[in-house]
Structure formats: C-alpha cells, structure tokens
Chain A
Amino acid sequence: MLRSKDIVQRHPQNPAALLDAIRDVQEAFGHVPDEAVTGIAAHLKLSEAEVRGAASFYHFFSLTPRGAYAVYLNASITSWMAGRAAVAQAFEEEAGCRFGEVTADGLIGLFPTSCIGMSDQEPAAIINGVVFTRLTPVKARHLVLAMKAGKPIERMVSEWGDGANQSDLVRAMVSNNIRKRGSVIFGPFEPGSAVRKAVARRPEDVIAEVKRANLLGRGGAGFPTGLKWEFCRKEPSDLRYVLCNADEGEPGTFKDRVILTEIPQLLFEGMAVAGYAIGAREGLLYLRSEYAYIRRHLEAVLERMRQEGLLGPQVAGKKDFSFDIRIIMGAGAYICGEESALLESAEGRRGEPRNRPPFPVQTGYRNRPTAVNNVETLCTAARIVTYGAPWFLSMGTAKSSGTKLLSVSGDCERPGVYELEFGLTVQELLDIAGAKDAFAVQVGGPSGACISRQGFGRKIAFEDLPTGGSVMIFGPWRNLFEIVANFMDFFIEESCGWCSPCRIGNSLLKEKLEKILAGRGSIQDLRDLEAWGKNVRALSRCGLGQTSPNPILSTLQNFRELYEKAVGGRDGFVPDFDLTEATLEAARLTHRLPLLEETSHE
C-alpha cells in the first residue's frame, strides 16, 4: 500500500515543491487526506494552513475524496449548446449522485469544470485525466457502467482522434480539426531550422528581427514581443528565464492544444530562440492540467531534441549557449493564464496575481527577469527568425502583421482551428466556417466582445477586434441571456478573490442579471448593471477583474434592444421578489388576505 509519506519524501524540502507534492498525493489518493497535509507541511517547513490554502485554490486538487473515477464535465457555453444538460442527467441517473457529489460507495464523483479546451467537440469531460469528447447520454451511461465494472479509464477510450492524437504517447479521442493551414504556424516546418538560424546570429539581431516584424503577443494583450525580450535581456541578472504560457483557459479557445499536439517542436524551438535572445539557460512550459494527456508526447519530443543537440549544452553546436526546457503542470485555474499569477503558480503557490510593477521582465520566475510568452507567439517568433521580418510583414494588416490562429466553435458547420491573416472581417470568418445565420459572435471569449450583425464587418486585428483566438458563434435560436449568465458564472468561479471589486462585484452583477431574466427588471436595473460593471472594470486589480464585466457591458452595448425588451419599459424600483407570493403562506396561516403587489408590472 502506497503511503502518502513516501510520496511526500520524494520531493525536495523546499516550499517551491508544494504543488508538485500535492499533485502526486492527489493522483495517488484521489484527494489530499489530512495526514498528507500534515506530512507535506512538515516536509516543506510550511504551516498546514499554507498547504490547505494551496490545495483549495486549484480546481483539480481536493481536500475531500473526489471518487475513484472523478468526472469533470465541461460547463462552458459550447458544452451546453451541444447537449450538456442531457449528458449530465444521464451521468447523474446512472451514477446515482448529483453533480458536486460523490457516490456513497466512493466510486464516482461528478463535477462541473470550466472550459477544457474542447469547444469544437463538446460535450466533453475529463475523467481521471483522460479526455472524452462528443459525449451523448448513451455514451455517458456506458461510461458509468464501465466504471461500476471497474474497467481502467484508459480502456474506455474506443476511438482515437486525428494526427498525433493517434500516436502511442497520446492515444486520445481528441480531434485537431485543423480547417485552414496558413503559412506561419501550420506552414511546412523543417525541424531544427529556427534554432540553427537564430544561433547563427547575435542575440541582439534576433531581437531586432522580431521587433522589425512587429510581432505582438498572441495571447490577446498584444504586447510587442521583441520589446519584451529586449527589456528582459537588458535587465541585469545572473539568470533569466523563458516561461511559455500554455494555460489557455479562455472559454472557447483550443488552438494551443493543437499546436502542442501537432507541432510541439516548433514551440520548443521558439522557446530556445527566445532563450538565446534574452540570455536564458532554462525554459519552462506551464502546461494546463486539462492538457496533461499530451505531456508524455511533449517529454518525448524534448528528449529527441536533446539527442539531436537542439536542446542541452551547446544548442545546435553554438558554444556558450546551453538551453533546456522543463514542463510545469497547472492544476485548474483560469487566473494562472495571467502572467504574474502564472509565475506564482510556477513557484508552487496559490495562483494569485502579483502587484505590478515590477513586471516579469524585471522580477519574474524566482525573482529573475522572465519573458512570459504565449504558445502561438513563440511559434510565430521561431518562424520570423527563419524567414525574416519582410516575409512576415507581407501578411496581415499594417498594425497587425502575420496570421492568427482562431479556435472556432458554436453554431457553424466547420468548427475547429483556422490560421488566417489578420484583417479578415467577422463575416468572412463566418462564411469560411459555414455559419449561415449567425446572430451573435463572441470574439476573444467571455473577456472579449459580443458582436451583433451590425458589427460583422469589423476586422479581426489588434486595432479593431483583438482576440486571443476564441471565436464562439451563436445562432438566432440561442438565448443571449443564458450565454451571458454562463460567462458570468465562469468569472465568478475563476476569480482568485484577492481584490474586493472582482470577488464581490461579479456575483452582484450576476444577481442583477438574474433579476432581469426573471422578468423583474427595470430600466434602473440596466443603468445599475452598466454603472456597476464599469466600476468592477476600473477598480479590479488584474486583467481578469478588468474584463469580467465584459459579457454584460458588451451585450448591453450591442444587444441593447434585448435588454429593453426584457424590462418592458418599466423604470424605477422593482423589487426582486413577488410580495404576494412571498407573503402567501403567512397569510394563509393567519387567515388574512394576501398582500397585493403594488408595483404590478403586468
């Protein structure tokens, strides 16, 4: 019998090992039992409260048992649109417990989870680390029956997806769905080409090339990559780091998953190029827990690159440049996509953002200058170094050069990954994806903007509609308010809770929205929604809180008429409960006439 003590002892006696120790215990026992908390605290010289604090922060860690089979069924809007309700019901009925619970015998636990990066093949779930896509009620029942028969989870996967998903090291039923290959990310790639090109030049020249190409960060914020590298290089320090942010958690995005599955070497070469440029010896890939199933494949690619001399000492034969890459696992927290929260998490703590300044290029991983870059950004940088800035500048718009990977999901015929040049309009994208009668398009995920038909002529580019890559399409039969409510639930779930506007404000916004949905809203409520939303946006500490009111603010702006219809011209104070109904029971008991609602709004 494996003891938690033995697992804990395997780790160095350093607080930085906290999340690794918790993860190992979680994997072995399905939760972090009390004795393991005590053991970890003693071993790492932390208080037990610190261990519990870290374990309770991440969605895939738990201090209480989650079941021998822990089912995490995606709760994002694309999952609901693809029939989540019936699948969830099938799981509940067959397992005999509700979502949020574990069966009495401890066999099966059912839990909702935020977007797992499978929006083009929903409803999807992760069960003990294994991904199941395109679930149906029938499939859900079969899965539960197999669990009850004690079948190993890996053997429940009967079909594999396309490309490297079929390889021995992945064996996942996930589909890549690459619909359009552009020339930057999905163009022909000769392994080793980027690294060799880079080390043949001076690091300063590599940075200059990336600057000339006007590469802007692909995560959505659009910070100039060359400038970031330059800041990092110029910061005096004995050590520097490249940290690749592979924690794509924005609902509706899944393009990094496809890069990691199909062309991980391009990414790793991009990291080596960045390392060479800034003067780093180590790169870290922070991989979201949802993509743990790709890890063995990634490790194998890293090992092969080491053998080929593309990583390790003297990369590509370059004296004085040694560089290697280590994978760090996430544990389920959208906020860790924020770069300073990512750093906290990478250092083994709760993923709560840091105060800035100082910025990561000054004080990043282990307080050293760190270039934090998105997966797609690093791949793009590798290509720029290979083919040069003029080639890159020939694509896209004047302000947004190159191509962008878009993860397209929702009501369209061809969901999947598209590599397209910047500058195409929303309508052009809808045509390519086969979305004939789109009514609303969410560009950039919940933290982005919800565009109505009037905005379909807008361009996908940093200067008009910036996006990290998430594009969700909604047909006219969808209820816009359900979508907005789902997005707000997402932010409520994923806020770290550090600052008061985000911790409290999002719940208040959601409550107000529900009041309107219940038919008890007024024009005053719309004014409140807008004012409160703007306050949360202005007052919050990090990007999460500063964008969390966007689902409401963006639809209030672009779909105003739906809100106005919902409040039906009522103004002033409308209570959020029905007075007559609320007092009915008391009236009955006391043999009085029920109170009549004065502000009748029918």
Chain B
Amino acid sequence: MSEITITIDGRACKSPAGRTIFEVARTNGVYIPTLCNYKDLRPVGSCRVCTVRVAGRYMAACTQVAIDGMAVENTAPDLEDMRRSILEMLFVEGNHLCPSCEKSGNCELQALAYRYQIMVPRFPFQFPVRRVEAVAPKLLLEHNRCIQCLRCVRSIQTEDGRRIFVPQNRSRWRKIGVDPRLAAELTDEMALKAMEVCPVGSILRKGVGFAVPIGRRKFDKTPIGTDVAEGLPR
C-alpha cells in the first residue's frame, strides 16, 4: 500500500493511503476533537466538531479521506471558535444539567466544553420539552441529553441486522427512537455497550449508578484529547 504525507498545521504526517484525515491525525499524535466518531464504527460526519480547513474549504476530518499533499488547518483560532460554536449549539439544543447527570466526568460533550473553556453559550437556550423514555427493561433513554451522534444506531443491532436505535422525524424534531420490542430482548452485555458508546448521558443502564464516584472519572483528572496529544488549545 502506498504511503502519503499530509501536513496538519504545518507538521508533516505520514500514513498509508486511504485513511481519513481524522485517522491520520490520531496515528500521528495530533488531536482533532470529535463527538460522533467512534472506533470501528463507520464515520457519519454528524456532529461536525472535527471540521478542519483545507485550501479554504471546510470538511469533516472523520469522513474526508486524506490525499497526498493536503495542507490541513486544525487549530487556527477562527476554526477552533467554529468548533466551539457547534459545542455551544449542542448545549442549547438540549437540556444538559451536568451536576445531576450520571455521566458527568465521563461525558465527552462536557469534557470538550471544558477543553474549549466554554463558560456561557453565545446562543439562547432552547429549553425543549423532551420525555425521558423508560420502556426498555434495562435502559433509560434521556432524550434531553442526546446529541444525535448515531453511535448507538451504528453499534447496536440484532444478530439478523435489524436496528434497535433509529432516527425518527426530521430536522429539529429528529430524535433517536428505540424499538421497544427489540430493546426488551437486549442482553446485559449489549445494554452496557449501548451506554458505553453514548458520548453523553443519553443512554443509561437501569439499576446501576455512580459506580465510580465523581472525582475519579475519565475526564476528572486530565482533559479530553490529552491521551492523543499533550497540550491544550489557547
């Protein structure tokens, strides 16, 4: 397989051909933030937090295949502000009350907000009225926190390929619906996986909570992204 070289903020990054900009960055120790992208799942480009700039054009690093010679901008201040604006949009779109959320400290949206030093969103809160769904015996669906990353949609299926989590409606009314019949048959392992793939506190395992105390969680000690690259944005 042929090898390609791209630059990310001027730094040369080598990779086998055919990888996405996101993958090339990660293997070269360059952090590009994301919410919807997840290991081994087909990228969908839904959150747009990984947006980078190539020759003045904006593209999602998770879906755009790296082409030899590409000069990728990743941390330009205006680009970082655009990413921050997406995070802020996600916060105002739903009802995110971190202090009472079981995922606090493990939540990637919260962690990115800290990384991007968001104090107050520039947008007005939408305060949508969303129902919490408890139909599945093992899972609780907290739609107030859903950011529609489609990770659950992609990773949880029946053995014969039917989807248990499926987008319903469209536009601002779009939500991730759960199939009550199939969700009732979820194994413990699948239920746990559903909760784990969720970047926020939208899919919760019933019957357990706060097993790891606040203060000892994933992003409590080190900011998100520092496992890929040292240093934080300005």
Task: Please report A residues at the B interface, Cβ cutoff 8 Å.
Answer: 45-50, 52-53, 56-57, 333, 335, 350, 352, 355, 357, 492-501, 503-505, 507-508, 511, 528, 532, 535, 538-541, 576
- Verify B166–A52 contact, CB threshold 8 A: yes
Q: Is the CB of A47 within 8 A of B172?
A: no
Q: Enumerate chain A residues within 8 angstroms of B170, measured Cβ to Cβ.
A: 56-57, 333, 335, 350, 494-497
CB contacts (< 8 Å) of A500 on chain B: these are: 46-48, 86, 89-90, 93, 147-148
A539 and B48 form a contact (CB under 8 A): yes
Q: Is the CB of B47 within 8 A of A47?
A: no
Q: Does B51 interact with chain A (Cβ within 8 Å)?
A: yes
Whole-angstrom distance from the CB of A31 to the nearest CB of chain B?
15
Interface flag for B105 (CB, 8 Å): no
Residue B210 at the chain A interface, CB threshold 8 Å: no
**A508 touches which of B51, B82, B124, B164 (Cβ 8 Å):** B124
A539 x B82 contact (CB < 8 A): yes
User: Beyond A56-B168, A355-B44, A497-B148, is A507–B126 a contact (Cβ under 8 Å)?
Assistant: yes
In contact, A357 and B65 (Cβ under 8 angstroms): yes
List of B residues within 8 angstroms of A497 by Cβ? 148, 167, 169-174
- Taking CB atoms and an 8 Å cut-off, the chain B residues in 83-138 that contact chain A are 85-86, 89-90, 92-93, 122-124, 126
Q: Measured between alpha carbons, how far is A539 from B83 in the docked complex, in Å? A: 9
**Residue in B60, B65, B89 with the greatest tally of chain A CB atoms within 10 Å:** B89
B24 within 8 A of A: no
Does B177 make an interface contact (CB < 8 A)? yes
Chain A residues with Cβ under 8 A from B63's Cβ? 355
Greatest chain A CB density within 10 A among B162, B171, B174, B182 is at B171
Residues A492 and B177 in contact, CB atoms below 8 Å apart: no
A residues less than 8 Å from B92 (CB atoms): 504, 508
B199 in contact (CB, < 8 A)? no
Known contacts A500-B86, A500-B89: A47-B162 contact under CB 8 Å: yes
Inter-chain CA distance A53–B86, complex, in Å, is 25
Asked whether A46 and B162 contact (CB < 8 A) given A500-B148, A541-B48, the answer is yes
Q: Are B82 and A541 in contact (CB under 8 A)?
A: no
Say whether A501 contacts B46, CB under 8 Å: no
Indicate whether A503 sits within 8 Å of B168 (C-beta atoms), given known contacts A355-B43, A539-B82: no
CB distance from B138 to the nearest CB of A (A): 16
Q: What are 16 A-B pairs with beta-carbon distances under 8 A? A: A48-B180, A49-B165, A49-B178, A49-B182, A52-B177, A53-B177, A56-B168, A352-B167, A355-B60, A494-B170, A497-B148, A499-B45, A500-B46, A504-B93, A532-B123, A540-B48
B46, A541: Cβ atoms under 8 Å? yes
What's the minimum C-beta distance from B83 to chain A, rounded to whole angstroms?
A: 9
Q: How far is the CA of A499 from the CA of B171 in the complex (A)?
A: 9
Complex contacts, A47 vs chain B, CB 8 Å: 158, 162-164, 166, 179, 181-182
Contact B171 A350 (CB under 8 A): no
A50–B166 contact, CB under 8 A? yes
User: Knowing A53-B177, A492-B171 touch, does A505 contact B163 (C-beta < 8 A)?
Assistant: no
Please tell me which one of the listed residues A45, A49, A57, A494 contacts residue B179 in the complex, with CB atoms under 8 A apart.
Answer: A49
Assess whether A53 is in contact with B167, with CB atoms less than 8 Å apart. yes
Q: How far is the CA of A23 from the CA of B161 in the complex (A)?
A: 24
Which chain B residues lie closer than 8 Å to A495 at the CB level? 170-172
B103 to chain A, nearest CB (A): 19
Chain B residues within 8 Å of A496, by CB = 170-171, 174
A2 to chain B, nearest CB (A): 26
Complex Cα–Cα for A53 and B47 (A): 20
CA of A540 to CA of B51, assembled, Å: 10
User: Is B179 touching A501 in the complex (CB atoms < 8 A)?
Assistant: no
- Residues from chain A with Cβ under 8 Å of B162 in the complex: 45-47, 50
Query: In the assembled complex, how far is the CB of residue A499 from the closest CB belonging to chain B, in whole angstroms?
Result: 5
Expressed in whole angstroms, the Cα–Cα distance for A45 and B85 within the complex equals: 41
Q: Evaluate whether A541 and B60 lie within 8 angstroms (CB atoms) in the complex, with A56-B169, A500-B48 already known.
A: yes
How long is the Cα–Cα vector from A539 to B126 in the complex, in angstroms?
A: 20
Complex CA gap A158/B51 in Å reads 55
Give A532 to B164 CA distance when docked, in angstroms.
35
CB of B160 closer than 8 Å to a CB of A: yes
CB-nearest residue of chain B to A41: B162
Q: Which chain A residue lies CB-closest to B87?
A: A500
Q: Which of B43, B46, B147, B181 contacts A498 (CB 8 A)?
A: B46
Which residue of chain A lies nearest to B79 when distances are taken between CB atoms in the complex? A538
Q: With the chains together, A508 CA to B88 CA distance in Å? A: 11
A50: chain B residues at CB < 8 Å are 162-163, 166, 179
- Asked if residues B171 and A503 are in contact (CB atoms below 8 Å), the reply is yes
**A507–B43 Cα gap in the complex (Å)?**
26
**CA of A495 to CA of B86, assembled, Å:** 17
Smallest distance from the beta carbon of B187 to chain A beta carbons, Å? 16
B171 touches A535 (CB 8 A): no
Within 8 Å CB of B126, what residues of A? 507
Given contact pairs A53-B166, A497-B171, A501-B89, enumerate 16 new A-B contacts (beta carbons under 8 Å): A47-B163, A47-B181, A49-B166, A52-B168, A52-B177, A53-B167, A56-B168, A352-B167, A355-B43, A492-B171, A493-B171, A499-B48, A500-B46, A500-B48, A504-B89, A535-B82
Q: Which residues of B contact A357 (CB under 8 A)?
A: 65
Residues of A within 8 A of B169 (CB): 56-57, 497
Closest chain B residue to A496, Cβ basis: B170
- Tell me the bound Cα distance from A278 to B90 in angstroms: 44
Which of A45, A504, A528, A535 meets B160, CB within 8 Å? A45
Chain B proximity of A497: nearest CB distance (Å): 3
For B43, the chain A residues whose CB sits under 8 A away are 355
> For the complex, what is the distance from the CA of A31 to the CA of B167, rounded to whole Å?
19
- Min Cβ gap B125→A in Å is 11
The residues in B between 36 and 63 inclusive whose CB is less than 8 angstroms from any CB of A are 43-48, 51, 58, 60, 63
Q: Which of B43, B147, B160, B162 has its CB near the most chain A CB atoms (within 10 A)?
A: B162
Instruction: Please list the 3 inter-chain residue pairs (A to B) with the smallest Cβ-Cβ separation, ordered nearest first.
Output: A497-B174, A49-B179, A49-B166
Nearest B residue (CB) for A350: B167
Contact A53 B168 (CB under 8 A): yes
Q: In whole Å, how far is A474's beta carbon from the nearest beta carbon of chain B?
A: 26
On chain A, the residues within 8 Å of B163 by CB distance are 46-47, 49-50
Whole-angstrom CA separation of A576 from B179 in the bound complex? 40
Write the nearest CB–CB distance from A353 to chain B, whole angstroms: 10
Highest count of chain B CB atoms <10 Å: which of A57, A335, A355, A540 = A355
| Contact A504-B90, Cβ < 8 Å, known A48-B179, A355-B44, A497-B169 | yes
